[in-house]
A = this chain, B = another copy of it.
Amino acid sequence: MTKIRKIQLNERDMPKQWYNIQADMPNPLLPLLHPGTKQPIQPGDLEALFPMALIQQEVSTERFIDIPDEVLDLYRLYRPTPVHRAYNLEKMLDTPAKIYYKNESVSPPGSHKPNTAIPQAYYSYKEGVKKMTTETGAGQWGSALSFATNFFGIECKVFMVKVSYQQKPYRKSMMNLWNGSVIPSPSMETNAGRAFLAEDPECPGSLGIAISEAIEVAATNEDTKYSLGSVLNHVLLHQTIIGLETVKQLEMTGDFPDLIIGPFGGGSNFGGLSFPFLRYNFTEGKKTRCIAVESASCPKLTKGKFEYDFGDTAGMTPLIPMYTLGHKFIPPAIHAGGLRYHGAGAIVSQLLKDKLIEARSVDQTESFEAAVTFARAEGMIPAPETSHAIAQVIKEAMIAKEEGIAKTILFNFSGHGLLDMGAYDEYFAHNLKVQ
Protein backbone atom coordinates (compact mmCIF):
# COMPACT_ATOMS: atom_id res chain seq x y z
CA MET A 1 0.00 0.00 0.00
CA THR A 2 1.14 3.51 -0.73
CA LYS A 3 2.30 5.50 2.26
CA ILE A 4 0.21 8.61 2.82
CA ARG A 5 2.57 11.22 4.20
CA LYS A 6 0.20 14.15 4.70
CA ILE A 7 -3.25 14.06 6.23
CA GLN A 8 -5.15 17.02 4.90
CA LEU A 9 -8.42 18.41 6.20
CA ASN A 10 -10.74 20.28 3.85
CA GLU A 11 -11.59 23.88 4.63
CA ARG A 12 -15.22 22.90 5.00
CA ASP A 13 -14.27 20.55 7.84
CA MET A 14 -12.31 23.14 9.79
CA PRO A 15 -13.59 23.40 13.39
CA LYS A 16 -15.87 26.41 13.96
CA GLN A 17 -15.45 26.60 17.75
CA TRP A 18 -12.45 26.77 20.07
CA TYR A 19 -12.19 24.34 22.97
CA ASN A 20 -11.97 25.80 26.48
CA ILE A 21 -10.20 23.38 28.78
CA GLN A 22 -11.34 25.38 31.81
CA ALA A 23 -14.67 23.60 31.43
CA ASP A 24 -13.08 20.20 32.05
CA MET A 25 -10.08 20.73 34.33
CA PRO A 26 -10.41 18.68 37.53
CA ASN A 27 -9.20 21.64 39.65
CA PRO A 28 -10.24 25.15 38.69
CA LEU A 29 -7.67 27.91 38.26
CA LEU A 30 -6.63 30.13 41.14
CA PRO A 31 -7.66 33.72 40.41
CA LEU A 32 -5.29 36.37 39.06
CA LEU A 33 -4.46 38.92 41.79
CA HIS A 34 -4.36 42.68 41.50
CA PRO A 35 -0.70 43.76 41.71
CA GLY A 36 -1.57 46.53 44.18
CA THR A 37 -4.30 45.12 46.43
CA LYS A 38 -3.35 41.44 46.07
CA GLN A 39 -7.08 40.73 45.80
CA PRO A 40 -8.62 38.74 42.93
CA ILE A 41 -8.84 41.04 39.94
CA GLN A 42 -12.15 42.04 38.39
CA PRO A 43 -12.69 42.04 34.62
CA GLY A 44 -12.77 45.85 34.69
CA ASP A 45 -9.19 45.94 36.03
CA LEU A 46 -7.93 44.57 32.72
CA GLU A 47 -9.89 46.92 30.49
CA ALA A 48 -7.06 49.39 30.03
CA LEU A 49 -4.99 46.64 28.43
CA PHE A 50 -7.36 44.26 26.63
CA PRO A 51 -10.60 44.41 24.65
CA MET A 52 -13.60 43.23 26.66
CA ALA A 53 -14.27 40.19 24.46
CA LEU A 54 -10.85 38.76 25.34
CA ILE A 55 -11.25 39.51 29.04
CA GLN A 56 -14.49 37.52 28.96
CA GLN A 57 -12.78 34.62 27.23
CA GLU A 58 -10.00 34.76 29.84
CA VAL A 59 -12.39 33.79 32.62
CA SER A 60 -14.99 31.81 30.66
CA THR A 61 -15.80 28.24 31.65
CA GLU A 62 -17.96 27.49 28.59
CA ARG A 63 -16.66 24.32 26.94
CA PHE A 64 -16.86 25.57 23.33
CA ILE A 65 -16.64 29.16 22.11
CA ASP A 66 -17.68 30.16 18.59
CA ILE A 67 -14.98 31.38 16.24
CA PRO A 68 -16.26 34.54 14.48
CA ASP A 69 -16.78 34.19 10.71
CA GLU A 70 -14.27 36.97 10.00
CA VAL A 71 -11.63 35.03 11.94
CA LEU A 72 -12.48 31.76 10.21
CA ASP A 73 -12.15 33.52 6.88
CA LEU A 74 -8.63 34.76 7.66
CA TYR A 75 -7.66 31.39 9.18
CA ARG A 76 -8.41 29.97 5.74
CA LEU A 77 -5.45 31.87 4.30
CA TYR A 78 -3.34 29.01 5.72
CA ARG A 79 -5.62 26.64 7.66
CA PRO A 80 -6.42 23.79 7.98
CA THR A 81 -2.73 22.92 8.30
CA PRO A 82 -1.49 19.46 7.35
CA VAL A 83 -0.54 16.61 9.68
CA HIS A 84 2.51 14.74 8.36
CA ARG A 85 3.60 11.21 9.13
CA ALA A 86 7.39 11.35 9.57
CA TYR A 87 8.14 8.05 7.83
CA ASN A 88 11.70 9.04 6.94
CA LEU A 89 12.53 9.93 10.54
CA GLU A 90 10.99 6.67 11.80
CA LYS A 91 13.15 4.77 9.35
CA MET A 92 16.30 6.70 10.20
CA LEU A 93 15.74 5.99 13.93
CA ASP A 94 14.69 2.41 13.20
CA THR A 95 11.88 2.81 15.71
CA PRO A 96 8.56 0.96 15.87
CA ALA A 97 6.96 4.26 16.96
CA LYS A 98 4.65 6.08 14.58
CA ILE A 99 5.64 9.74 14.49
CA TYR A 100 3.15 12.38 13.37
CA TYR A 101 3.57 16.13 13.34
CA LYS A 102 1.12 18.96 12.96
CA ASN A 103 2.67 21.48 10.61
CA GLU A 104 1.92 24.99 11.86
CA SER A 105 4.85 26.41 9.89
CA VAL A 106 2.72 26.89 6.76
CA SER A 107 1.22 30.16 7.93
CA PRO A 108 2.69 33.26 6.26
CA PRO A 109 4.53 34.36 9.43
CA GLY A 110 5.82 30.79 9.69
CA SER A 111 4.37 29.56 12.98
CA HIS A 112 1.21 28.85 14.99
CA LYS A 113 1.15 32.42 16.31
CA PRO A 114 -1.41 33.90 13.87
CA ASN A 115 -4.04 31.54 15.33
CA THR A 116 -4.39 33.98 18.21
CA ALA A 117 -3.08 37.13 16.51
CA ILE A 118 -6.03 37.11 14.10
CA PRO A 119 -8.80 36.90 16.74
CA GLN A 120 -6.97 39.37 18.99
CA ALA A 121 -6.76 41.89 16.13
CA TYR A 122 -10.36 41.16 15.16
CA TYR A 123 -11.85 41.71 18.64
CA SER A 124 -9.72 44.84 19.07
CA TYR A 125 -10.96 46.19 15.74
CA LYS A 126 -14.58 45.49 16.74
CA GLU A 127 -14.05 47.54 19.90
CA GLY A 128 -12.54 50.48 18.02
CA VAL A 129 -8.89 49.97 18.91
CA LYS A 130 -6.49 51.92 16.65
CA LYS A 131 -3.08 50.73 17.89
CA MET A 132 -1.71 47.59 19.47
CA THR A 133 1.56 46.99 21.28
CA THR A 134 3.27 43.74 22.01
CA GLU A 135 6.56 42.04 22.78
CA THR A 136 8.34 39.41 20.71
CA GLY A 137 11.25 37.07 21.35
CA ALA A 138 12.55 35.38 18.21
CA GLY A 139 10.05 37.42 16.22
CA GLN A 140 7.43 34.77 15.48
CA TRP A 141 4.81 36.51 17.59
CA GLY A 142 5.59 40.04 16.46
CA SER A 143 5.39 38.87 12.84
CA ALA A 144 2.06 37.22 13.49
CA LEU A 145 0.54 40.28 15.13
CA SER A 146 1.82 42.56 12.33
CA PHE A 147 0.34 40.13 9.79
CA ALA A 148 -3.03 40.16 11.60
CA THR A 149 -3.35 43.86 12.45
CA ASN A 150 -2.54 44.72 8.81
CA PHE A 151 -5.87 43.17 7.74
CA PHE A 152 -7.79 45.45 10.11
CA GLY A 153 -5.90 48.70 9.58
CA ILE A 154 -4.61 48.68 13.17
CA GLU A 155 -1.14 50.11 13.85
CA CYS A 156 1.20 47.60 15.45
CA LYS A 157 4.24 48.40 17.60
CA VAL A 158 6.49 45.50 18.55
CA PHE A 159 9.12 45.54 21.30
CA MET A 160 11.59 42.90 20.15
CA VAL A 161 14.03 41.39 22.64
CA LYS A 162 17.36 43.01 21.74
CA VAL A 163 19.42 39.84 21.39
CA SER A 164 16.85 38.38 18.96
CA TYR A 165 16.66 41.70 17.10
CA GLN A 166 20.38 41.29 16.44
CA GLN A 167 20.29 37.53 15.76
CA LYS A 168 17.32 37.55 13.37
CA PRO A 169 17.39 40.74 11.28
CA TYR A 170 14.92 39.44 8.68
CA ARG A 171 12.15 39.18 11.27
CA LYS A 172 12.16 42.97 11.43
CA SER A 173 11.93 43.14 7.62
CA MET A 174 8.94 40.81 7.72
CA MET A 175 7.14 42.88 10.34
CA ASN A 176 7.83 46.06 8.37
CA LEU A 177 6.45 44.47 5.22
CA TRP A 178 3.16 43.91 7.04
CA ASN A 179 3.22 47.50 8.33
CA GLY A 180 4.44 46.69 11.83
CA SER A 181 7.06 48.85 13.53
CA VAL A 182 9.80 47.24 15.59
CA ILE A 183 11.83 48.60 18.53
CA PRO A 184 14.68 46.65 20.15
CA SER A 185 13.99 46.17 23.87
CA PRO A 186 14.99 47.43 26.37
CA SER A 187 14.47 50.77 24.64
CA MET A 188 14.57 54.43 25.59
CA GLU A 189 10.87 54.78 24.64
CA THR A 190 9.44 53.75 28.00
CA ASN A 191 10.14 54.34 31.68
CA ALA A 192 10.59 50.60 32.14
CA GLY A 193 13.06 50.37 29.26
CA ARG A 194 15.08 53.35 30.48
CA ALA A 195 15.27 51.86 33.97
CA PHE A 196 16.59 48.51 32.69
CA LEU A 197 19.16 50.29 30.52
CA ALA A 198 20.27 52.46 33.46
CA GLU A 199 20.88 49.28 35.44
CA ASP A 200 22.66 47.47 32.58
CA PRO A 201 23.36 49.31 29.32
CA GLU A 202 24.38 45.97 27.73
CA CYS A 203 21.19 44.17 28.79
CA PRO A 204 20.31 41.56 26.10
CA GLY A 205 16.64 41.93 26.95
CA SER A 206 14.07 39.28 27.74
CA LEU A 207 10.42 38.62 27.07
CA GLY A 208 9.59 39.82 30.58
CA ILE A 209 11.25 43.20 29.94
CA ALA A 210 9.67 43.61 26.51
CA ILE A 211 6.25 42.87 28.04
CA SER A 212 6.79 45.63 30.60
CA GLU A 213 7.53 48.09 27.81
CA ALA A 214 4.56 47.08 25.65
CA ILE A 215 2.18 47.22 28.62
CA GLU A 216 3.41 50.65 29.63
CA VAL A 217 2.67 52.07 26.18
CA ALA A 218 -0.82 50.53 26.15
CA ALA A 219 -1.64 51.59 29.71
CA THR A 220 -0.65 55.19 29.05
CA ASN A 221 -2.39 55.63 25.68
CA GLU A 222 -6.17 55.72 25.44
CA ASP A 223 -6.45 54.35 21.88
CA THR A 224 -3.90 51.55 22.38
CA LYS A 225 -4.36 48.00 23.63
CA TYR A 226 -1.78 45.44 24.58
CA SER A 227 -1.59 41.97 23.10
CA LEU A 228 0.20 38.91 24.49
CA GLY A 229 1.29 36.00 22.31
CA SER A 230 1.23 33.25 24.94
CA VAL A 231 0.63 32.55 28.66
CA LEU A 232 -2.93 33.91 28.99
CA ASN A 233 -6.01 31.69 28.89
CA HIS A 234 -7.60 33.36 25.86
CA VAL A 235 -4.39 32.86 23.88
CA LEU A 236 -4.35 29.15 24.62
CA LEU A 237 -8.07 29.00 23.83
CA HIS A 238 -7.48 30.37 20.32
CA GLN A 239 -4.61 27.95 19.78
CA THR A 240 -6.86 24.92 20.37
CA ILE A 241 -7.75 25.13 16.69
CA ILE A 242 -4.46 23.23 16.24
CA GLY A 243 -5.50 20.25 18.33
CA LEU A 244 -9.13 20.29 17.20
CA GLU A 245 -8.01 19.90 13.59
CA THR A 246 -5.51 17.23 14.58
CA VAL A 247 -8.16 15.16 16.37
CA LYS A 248 -10.08 15.01 13.07
CA GLN A 249 -6.95 14.31 11.04
CA LEU A 250 -5.75 11.46 13.24
CA GLU A 251 -9.24 9.96 13.14
CA MET A 252 -8.67 9.55 9.40
CA THR A 253 -5.58 7.43 10.11
CA GLY A 254 -7.11 5.24 12.81
CA ASP A 255 -4.27 6.19 15.19
CA PHE A 256 -4.64 7.96 18.52
CA PRO A 257 -1.64 9.56 20.23
CA ASP A 258 -0.01 7.84 23.19
CA LEU A 259 2.29 10.82 23.55
CA ILE A 260 1.92 14.48 22.61
CA ILE A 261 5.01 16.69 22.63
CA GLY A 262 5.29 20.44 22.16
CA PRO A 263 8.00 23.01 22.74
CA PHE A 264 7.25 25.25 25.71
CA GLY A 265 7.75 29.00 26.10
CA GLY A 266 4.59 30.23 27.78
CA GLY A 267 2.28 27.43 26.75
CA SER A 268 0.47 28.46 23.58
CA ASN A 269 1.55 25.90 21.00
CA PHE A 270 1.80 23.13 23.58
CA GLY A 271 -1.66 23.87 24.96
CA GLY A 272 -3.09 24.41 21.51
CA LEU A 273 -2.17 20.93 20.38
CA SER A 274 -2.61 19.01 23.63
CA PHE A 275 -5.76 20.43 25.26
CA PRO A 276 -8.27 19.00 22.77
CA PHE A 277 -6.69 15.57 23.41
CA LEU A 278 -6.47 16.05 27.20
CA ARG A 279 -10.22 16.51 27.08
CA TYR A 280 -10.49 12.78 26.34
CA ASN A 281 -8.26 12.04 29.34
CA PHE A 282 -10.65 14.03 31.53
CA THR A 283 -13.93 12.86 30.06
CA GLU A 284 -13.34 9.45 28.47
CA GLY A 285 -10.54 7.90 30.49
CA LYS A 286 -7.94 8.11 27.74
CA LYS A 287 -4.35 8.14 28.96
CA THR A 288 -2.44 10.28 26.47
CA ARG A 289 0.78 11.59 28.01
CA CYS A 290 1.41 15.25 27.20
CA ILE A 291 4.98 16.51 27.51
CA ALA A 292 5.96 20.18 27.48
CA VAL A 293 9.58 20.67 26.44
CA GLU A 294 11.34 23.76 27.72
CA SER A 295 14.86 25.07 27.28
CA ALA A 296 17.35 23.89 29.91
CA SER A 297 18.50 27.51 30.08
CA CYS A 298 15.04 28.66 31.19
CA PRO A 299 13.66 25.71 33.17
CA LYS A 300 10.58 27.07 34.93
CA LEU A 301 8.56 23.86 34.61
CA THR A 302 11.28 21.45 35.69
CA LYS A 303 13.14 23.68 38.19
CA GLY A 304 10.81 26.59 38.95
CA LYS A 305 8.34 27.01 41.80
CA PHE A 306 4.56 27.13 41.64
CA GLU A 307 3.67 30.52 43.13
CA TYR A 308 2.06 33.86 42.38
CA ASP A 309 4.40 35.93 40.24
CA PHE A 310 4.29 38.80 37.77
CA GLY A 311 4.04 38.11 34.04
CA ASP A 312 6.58 40.84 33.28
CA THR A 313 9.91 41.89 34.69
CA ALA A 314 8.91 45.35 35.93
CA GLY A 315 5.96 43.93 37.89
CA MET A 316 3.11 45.71 36.12
CA THR A 317 0.87 42.74 35.27
CA PRO A 318 -1.58 40.99 37.58
CA LEU A 319 -0.05 38.24 39.71
CA ILE A 320 -0.43 34.90 37.99
CA PRO A 321 -0.46 31.50 39.75
CA MET A 322 2.31 29.80 37.83
CA TYR A 323 5.55 27.88 37.68
CA THR A 324 8.20 30.56 37.58
CA LEU A 325 11.91 31.23 37.92
CA GLY A 326 11.08 34.65 39.35
CA HIS A 327 10.07 37.60 37.21
CA LYS A 328 13.56 39.12 37.45
CA PHE A 329 15.17 36.07 35.83
CA ILE A 330 16.97 36.96 32.59
CA PRO A 331 17.81 33.82 30.57
CA PRO A 332 21.00 33.33 28.54
CA ALA A 333 20.90 34.52 24.92
CA ILE A 334 19.88 31.22 23.31
CA HIS A 335 18.52 31.24 19.76
CA ALA A 336 15.15 29.84 20.79
CA GLY A 337 14.00 33.33 21.74
CA GLY A 338 10.42 32.15 22.16
CA LEU A 339 11.46 29.94 25.08
CA ARG A 340 13.21 32.74 26.98
CA TYR A 341 10.34 33.44 29.38
CA HIS A 342 10.54 33.16 33.15
CA GLY A 343 7.05 31.73 33.74
CA ALA A 344 4.29 29.49 32.42
CA GLY A 345 0.61 30.16 31.81
CA ALA A 346 -1.86 29.53 34.64
CA ILE A 347 -3.66 26.62 32.97
CA VAL A 348 -0.51 24.71 32.07
CA SER A 349 0.90 25.39 35.54
CA GLN A 350 -2.22 24.04 37.24
CA LEU A 351 -2.19 20.94 35.01
CA LEU A 352 1.46 20.31 35.80
CA LYS A 353 0.89 20.81 39.53
CA ASP A 354 -1.95 18.27 39.31
CA LYS A 355 0.37 15.86 37.43
CA LEU A 356 -1.97 15.81 34.43
CA ILE A 357 0.85 16.79 32.08
CA GLU A 358 4.64 16.34 32.20
CA ALA A 359 7.65 18.54 31.54
CA ARG A 360 11.18 17.97 30.27
CA SER A 361 14.06 20.27 29.43
CA VAL A 362 16.45 20.11 26.49
CA ASP A 363 19.67 22.05 26.06
CA GLN A 364 20.58 24.17 23.06
CA THR A 365 23.10 21.90 21.33
CA GLU A 366 20.83 18.89 21.80
CA SER A 367 18.01 20.84 20.17
CA PHE A 368 20.12 21.78 17.12
CA GLU A 369 21.40 18.22 16.76
CA ALA A 370 17.78 17.06 16.61
CA ALA A 371 16.90 19.83 14.16
CA VAL A 372 19.64 18.75 11.77
CA THR A 373 18.56 15.11 12.00
CA PHE A 374 14.98 16.12 11.26
CA ALA A 375 15.86 18.44 8.37
CA ARG A 376 17.91 15.70 6.71
CA ALA A 377 15.20 13.08 7.22
CA GLU A 378 12.02 15.02 6.48
CA GLY A 379 13.29 18.07 4.62
CA MET A 380 11.55 20.66 6.78
CA ILE A 381 13.83 23.04 8.69
CA PRO A 382 12.57 23.59 12.24
CA ALA A 383 12.62 26.79 14.27
CA PRO A 384 14.98 26.61 17.27
CA GLU A 385 11.94 26.49 19.58
CA THR A 386 10.39 23.57 17.65
CA SER A 387 13.71 21.73 17.73
CA HIS A 388 13.37 21.30 21.48
CA ALA A 389 10.24 19.22 20.92
CA ILE A 390 11.98 17.22 18.21
CA ALA A 391 14.87 16.35 20.56
CA GLN A 392 12.32 14.90 23.00
CA VAL A 393 10.47 13.07 20.19
CA ILE A 394 13.72 11.38 19.20
CA LYS A 395 14.36 10.32 22.82
CA GLU A 396 10.85 8.91 23.12
CA ALA A 397 11.15 7.10 19.79
CA MET A 398 14.34 5.46 21.03
CA ILE A 399 12.60 4.43 24.27
CA ALA A 400 9.81 2.92 22.17
CA LYS A 401 12.48 1.01 20.28
CA GLU A 402 14.05 -0.37 23.47
CA GLU A 403 10.62 -1.34 24.73
CA GLY A 404 9.60 -2.68 21.34
CA ILE A 405 6.31 -0.80 21.49
CA ALA A 406 4.69 0.82 18.43
CA LYS A 407 3.64 3.98 20.28
CA THR A 408 1.97 6.81 18.42
CA ILE A 409 3.89 10.04 19.02
CA LEU A 410 2.42 13.37 17.92
CA PHE A 411 4.31 16.64 18.08
CA ASN A 412 3.81 20.23 17.16
CA PHE A 413 5.99 21.51 14.33
CA SER A 414 5.24 24.95 15.68
CA GLY A 415 7.39 26.94 13.25
CA HIS A 416 10.04 26.84 10.55
CA GLY A 417 13.60 28.05 10.97
CA LEU A 418 14.03 29.87 7.66
CA LEU A 419 14.65 33.17 9.41
CA ASP A 420 16.93 31.48 11.95
CA MET A 421 19.54 30.14 9.54
CA GLY A 422 22.24 32.19 11.25
CA ALA A 423 21.74 29.97 14.29
CA TYR A 424 22.35 26.87 12.19
CA ASP A 425 25.56 28.47 10.90
CA GLU A 426 26.72 28.93 14.49
CA TYR A 427 25.83 25.37 15.33
CA PHE A 428 27.89 24.02 12.43
CA ALA A 429 30.77 26.36 13.34
CA HIS A 430 30.63 24.96 16.93
CA ASN A 431 29.98 28.45 18.25
CA LEU A 432 26.81 27.65 20.17
CA LYS A 433 26.72 27.52 23.93
CA VAL A 434 25.36 24.25 25.32
CA GLN A 435 22.60 26.14 27.13
Give the interface segment out of A192-200, A237-245, A376-384. Answer: A376-384
Residue A176 lies at the interface, judged by CB distance under 8 Å to chain B: yes
Q: Could you tell me which residues of chain A, from 380 to 435, have a CB within 8 Å of some CB in chain B?
A: 380-381, 418-419, 421-422, 424-425, 428
The one of B2, B73, B173, B376 in contact with A12, judged by C-beta atoms closer than 8 angstroms, is B2
Give the copy number. 2
What's the least CB distance linking A150 to chain B, in Å?
6
Residue A30 lies at the interface, judged by CB distance under 8 Å to chain B: no
Question: A379, B108: Cβ atoms under 8 Å?
Answer: yes
Q: A1-32 vs B: 1/0 string, CB under 8 Å?
A: 01111101011100000000000000000000
The one of B2, B10, B381, B418 in contact with A8, judged by C-beta atoms closer than 8 angstroms, is B10
Closest B residue by C-beta to A372: B177
Task: Given A177-B372, A379-B78, A379-B147, answer yes or no on A418-B3 (Cβ-Cβ < 8 Å).
Answer: no
Question: B77, A5: Cβ atoms under 8 Å?
Answer: yes
Question: B5, A76: Cβ atoms under 8 Å?
Answer: yes
A380 to B428, CA, bound (A): 30
Q: Which residues of B contact A8 (CB under 8 A)?
A: 8, 10-11
Question: B106, A106: Cβ atoms under 8 Å?
Answer: yes
Question: A173, B422: Cβ atoms under 8 Å?
Answer: yes
Q: Which residues of B contact A4 (CB under 8 A)?
A: 11-12, 76
A358 to B2, CA, bound (A): 40
Task: Given A5-B77, A147-B379, answer yes or no on A421-B170 (Cβ-Cβ < 8 Å).
Answer: yes
Q: Point out which of A3, A77, A88, A169 has the most chain B C-beta atoms below 10 A from its C-beta.
A: A77
Residue A375 lies at the interface, judged by CB distance under 8 Å to chain B: yes
Q: Could you tell me which residues of chain A, from 336 to 391, have a CB within 8 Å of some CB in chain B?
A: 372, 375-376, 378-381
What's the least CB distance linking A396 to chain B, in Å?
22
Question: A378, B11: Cβ atoms under 8 Å?
Answer: no
What's the least CB distance linking A189 to chain B, in Å?
21
A106 to B418, CA, bound (A): 12
Q: Which residues of B contact A184 (CB under 8 A)?
A: none
Closest B residue by C-beta to A4: B11
Question: A428, B372: Cβ atoms under 8 Å?
Answer: no
Q: Could you tell me which residues of chain A, from 152 to 197, have a CB within 8 Å of some CB in chain B?
A: 169-170, 173-174, 176-179
Q: Which residues of B contact A147 (CB under 8 A)?
A: 379
A379 to B151, CA, bound (A): 9
Q: Which residues of B contact A88 (CB under 8 A)?
A: 77
Question: A76, B170: Cβ atoms under 8 Å?
Answer: no
Q: Which residues of B contact A267 (CB under 8 A)?
A: none
Residue A257 lies at the interface, judged by CB distance under 8 Å to chain B: no
Residue A51 lies at the interface, judged by CB distance under 8 Å to chain B: no
A283 to B146, CA, bound (A): 48
Q: Which residues of B contact A173 (CB under 8 A)?
A: 421-422, 424-425
What's the least CB distance linking A344 to chain B, in Å?
30
12 new A-B contacts at CB < 8 Å, known A4-B12, A77-B88, A174-B421: A5-B77, A8-B8, A8-B11, A106-B106, A108-B378, A108-B379, A170-B170, A173-B421, A176-B424, A177-B421, A177-B428, A418-B419
